[in-house]
Amino acid sequence: MKTIFEPFKIKMVEPLSILSTEDRKKVLQESYYNLFNIPAKFVTFDLLTDSGTSAMSSKQWAAMMEGDESYAGSESYIRFSNIIRDLTGMEHVIPTHQGRSAEALLCSALLKPQDRVLGNTQFDTTRANIESNGGVSIDLPSEESKDAHFEFPFKGNVNLKLLKEELSKNSKNIPFFIMTVTNNSIGGQPVSLENIKQTKKLLSEHNIPMFIDAARFAENAYFIKQREEGQKNRSVKNIAQEMFSYADGVLMSAKKDAFANIGGFLAVHNKDLAKEIRNRMVITEGFPTYGGLAGRDLEAIAVGLQEILSEDYLTYRIRSVEYFGKGLESAGFTLVKPFGGHAVYIDASSSLPHVPQKYYPAQSLSVAFYEEMGLRGVEVGSVMFGYLDEKTDQEVYAPKELVRLAMPRRVYTQSHIDYIIECAHEFKPKSDQLPGYKFIEQAKHLRHFTAKFAPIPKESFR
């Protein structure tokens, strides 16, 4: 069937705020054209992130009432750790208040200055934790991922040839490897089971442990089922269990594929490492059986980790993201291919060819989406990854100018997506009139969060 329907019904609703275009123009002006500065109540479709924005199920809310808030050894921890032990096969389960605290604990326990941490592509917070512990983060993304429009089923893979080279150069100061599934930084692209297996084999020859960053493990397992030879008759859970079977440890932000609004965990085989981490975490996170979370949060995560394995849900999820991408393509926008698991990425350089890179085409497009239809996406281009080089006083630009539209889980319906696609069709023909932008204020680090911008009309481009 062509029609995609949500495999759930709605028991609780939250009204959308719908502003006029005039009001949105005012909001943009007052926010200095930075979408991070816009109060959420002025946004109709908030596709800024899929992190912590999921709708919880009635079962999750019911489980929260069973939250055992005991300081030590709570029943909720026991239920939480049993679910994660069954899924990952890891004996030692440590809750953390979100994904980055699991990263911080792992890095502080294992990293020495100048150590190299390899991975398919480290997520920003992972890289920041590696670097702030004195380490060096090295990405080894697949060759296929370099071409944004090349259709390849597993663009999230590790480049095994480069991995071999890195290991033969010097394998002494590599305390661990991180495999991120799906590969968020290159667009939510999956990693194949074969690639995970081969990576583990190479690492084993040098006794280097492999950790899986499992933020979107279920979306990844579903892609394996769909795209990898010989996998289509297995359950997603069984595939996920095989993925984890090659790992020495798992880190997860529960704000993604666990349908939770907060939380995370670290799970490991090694008893001594678990002990070391538990000793450290009491200083910053709390007692090891709650790790900065309430008992009710542990319950919501435990239920969410079971619900995410529903193949009806995953079929709907992956199909609806693909439908969204195809709709935007049919409106005339150029998108990164294949579409990711949790988001679509619009290539702003080719979608707005009249805006030169120095006037931030992806900023222009993301602002226009808000003005036109109340949709908030995020610029993933030179505003986010470029910077002002202090030595030369020259702007350094990012390799790609993208706008990411991330889909919160179970929040927006197909008719919301249809409406956005219809608006995109209306708006594309006039997008050749859009202005560019310039910074009027920017911070030294992570400038995209707080920067202020002013529009530069097309006529003034030089």
Q: Which residues are annotated as catalytic?
A: 71, 123-124, 213, 215, 256, 448
Among 67, 95, 99, 325, indicate the residue that binds ligand PLP (CB under 6 A): 99
- Which parts of 8-67 interact with ligand PLP (CB under 6 A)? 51
Residue among 345 and 360 whose Cβ is closer to ligand PLP: 345
Q: Which stretch binds ligand PLP (CB under 6 A): 73-81, 93-101, 135-143, 296-304?
A: 93-101
Q: Stretches 96-104, 109-117, 165-173, 240-248: which one binds ligand PLP (CB under 6 A)?
A: 96-104
Told to check if 184 binds ligand PLP by CB under 6 A, we report yes
192 counts as binding ligand PLP under rule CB under 6 A: no
As a whole number of angstroms, the distance between CA 301 and CA 76 comes to 10
When binding is defined by CB under 6 A, the residue of 127, 155, 225, 256 that contacts ligand PLP is 256
Q: How far is the CB of 213 from ligand PLP (least distance, A)?
A: 5
Q: Which residue lies nearer to ligand PLP by CB, 38 or 106?
A: 106
Least spacing, CB of residue 184 vs ligand PLP, in Å: 4
Query: Contact between 327 and ligand PLP (CB under 6 A)?
Result: no
Q: Is 98 in the site for ligand PLP (CB under 6 A)?
A: yes
| Torsion angle in degrees (nearest 10) through CA of 181, 187, 188, 190 | -60
Identified binder of ligand PLP from the candidate list 33, 42, 45, 123, rule CB under 6 A: 123
Residue selected from 24, 79, 92, 100 as contacting ligand PLP according to rule CB under 6 A: 100
Determine which residue in the list 60, 157, 180, 199 makes contact with ligand PLP, applying CB under 6 A: 180
- Decide whether 100 or 200 has the Cβ nearer to ligand PLP: 100
The residue at minimum Cβ distance from ligand PLP is 99
Residues of this chain, 196-255, that bind ligand PLP according to CB under 6 A: 213, 215, 253, 255
Q: How far is the CB of 80 from ligand PLP (least distance, A)?
A: 16
Q: Which of 49, 422, 13 is nearest to 261 (CA)?
A: 49
Residues forming contacts to ligand PLP in the complex (CB under 6 A) are 51, 98-100, 123, 125-126, 180, 184, 213, 215, 253, 255-256, 264
